[in-house]
Homo-oligomer: A and B are copies of this chain.
Amino acid sequence: MARPVILFSGGWADLPLGELAPQAAEWGYQGLDLACWGDHLEVQRALSEDDYAPAKLALLAGLELTAPVVSCHRVSQAVCDPIDERHQDLLPDYVWGDGDPAGVRRRAAEEVVASARAAQKLGAAVLGGFSGSPVWSAVAGYPPPRPARLADALREFARAWRPILDACQECGLRYALEIHPGQIAFDLYSAEAALDALDGRPEFGFTLDPSHLHWIGVDPVEFVRRFPDRIFHVHIKDCVVRLNGRTSLFCSYLPYGDARRGWDVRSPGRGGVDWEAVIRALNEAGYDGALAVEWRDPGMSREYGAEEACRFVKRLDFEPAPPRDGGPAFR
């Protein structure tokens, strides 16, 4: 399919966009999923400086790159999270402020709205990101929440995100929540719950990143089939499960790349995701957005990996059949 194969810039924010973009083009990418951190997309500058967005677009256009998606994972995490010191690492100073939780959450929500407006200026159609969650610590832990607490949390999530989705609607954007641990939606049935909490409003859908589903046992194909018209964005990242009796799926506080973890991230095609099945499910669902490589593999050089990943995704994305007719051949 003629889907653009793009690179998610989030993992390269240590490089200025001016360095990253030419490399991405050389590796074969057709565009970027632009992160709102580093200098890739500085939201406040994009809103306040008239030539900021045009300059970014010009830089990309000169390399024949597009920017169909903008991503605000870091700041969106704080929108309905219980705030603690970990968020300080993720947020710009002007969002963190004095670190008072309620204020942080409010400013984070405002920054996501600002990100939507910046994305509009770049001509993007999708804003990708996280949601945070008031009840993440209850998901697999102890003590369990009272049932009423879960219902409250979903209402809290909806209350926090409705104004942001209103802004997306105004900007002609759709918000693609990444199904990911730590978010309000992290598997199939929790995605149902989140969608219900928002009464299924059309601006709200998902970023499918099969790596986050793989190790918790969800088949990304089933996810696509359950929400065929809510897949707004796709991250291509792989994941390997390597249980040997001692390793665990909770990974024992160990960092990525440690051999004692029960799972790890991998360059696309080198893990356990069944990409052949994923691409067919996307074809069946009529998904025609970008395929964004989110490159991460603690054992491989990232330049080497980003290039092979681009080739991998282009080979993966075969030309689907035209709409079904009566069926071919001697049958």
How close is A73's CB to chain B, nearest CB, in angstroms?
5
Within 173-205 of A, Cβ neighbours of B (below 8 Å) are at: 180-183, 186-190, 193
Asked whether B330 lies within 8 Å of A318 as measured between CB atoms, the reply is: no
Asked whether A331 lies within 8 Å of B144 as measured between CB atoms, the reply is: yes
Asked whether B299 lies within 8 Å of A77 as measured between CB atoms, the reply is: no
Q: Which of A56-64, A94-102, A252-260 contacts its partner?
A: A252-260
Within 211-228 of A, Cβ neighbours of B (below 8 Å) are at: 213, 216-219, 221-222, 225-226
Majority secondary structure, A binding face: loop
CB of A301 closer than 8 Å to a CB of B: yes
CB of A25 closer than 8 Å to a CB of B: no
CB of A118 closer than 8 Å to a CB of B: no
A side interface size, CB within 8 A: 101
Contact A246:B262 (CB < 8 A) given known A89-B143, A328-B302: no
Contact A217:B247 (CB < 8 A) given known A142-B181, A328-B14: yes
Which residue of B is nearest A86, CB measured? B143
Complex-state Cα separation, A149 to B280, whole angstroms: 29
Contact A217:B181 (CB < 8 A) given known A319-B304, A324-B257, A329-B11: no
CB of A27 closer than 8 Å to a CB of B: no
Can you identify 9 A-B contacts, CB atoms within 8 angstroms?
A85-B149, A139-B141, A140-B249, A190-B250, A218-B247, A242-B277, A257-B321, A299-B320, A303-B319
Which residues on A are within 8 Å of B, measured CB to CB?
A: 10-14, 35, 37, 71, 73-74, 77, 85-87, 89-90, 130, 135-147, 149-150, 180-183, 186-190, 193, 213, 216-219, 221-222, 225-226, 241-257, 259-260, 262, 270, 276-277, 280-281, 283-284, 296-305, 308, 318-322, 324, 326-331
